[in-house]
Amino acid sequence: MSDQTVLESLRSIEFFHDIANEHLERLAAILEPVEFPPHHIIFREQDKAKCAYFINSGQVSLISCNPDVGCRELMTVSDGQLIGWSPLLRRKLLSDTARTLTATKAFAVDGEQVLALCREYPEFGFEFMHRLSQVLAERLFATRMQHLRMSGHQLPNVQIESD
């Protein structure tokens, strides 16, 4: 994949929308284009956290397993989304399993290399971490909604103050 093709692909990923070209070029230099067939395990829960992946095309199921309840699909992600974010926060282990549902193209990136770019170019680092925090907030919200659907008691419609 040529450098120009990688840059064009990065620009199409929502996470990188409006990131300055010089930062995208630096990031492109450390990305590795990868392809996975359908039903392929990209990584497993509790694997060592090394790479994060930006999905270029395809669908990936994020799964979590527990000996008491078995395995459950947490969500499905697709074009433009990030998976395997743990190494970007220096977490040692991955928190779920990623399994492709369709043929999937992605960009793998070593978490330590991204963090080095963030330290070297603080403006990029701030923007990257801000966007990462948005991804995590969206995942937390989705998990919360899933939890609400699965548990709890239905309360009558009353006004409840919240944050």
- How far apart (Å, rounded) are the C-alpha atoms in residues 59 and 79? 7
pTM of the model: 0.86
Domain spans, the chain:
3-145
pLDDT at 89: 95
CATH no., domain 3-145:
2.60.120.10
Q: Phi and psi (nearest 5°) for 65? A: -120, 145
pLDDT for residue 148 = 76
Say whether pLDDT at 163 is over 90.
no
* pLDDT per position as a tens digit, 86-120: 999 999 999 999 999 999 999 999 999 999 999 99
- How confident is the model at residue 38, as a pLDDT? 98
149 vs 105: CA distance, rounded Å:
32
Strand pairing category for 82-83 and 31-36: unpaired
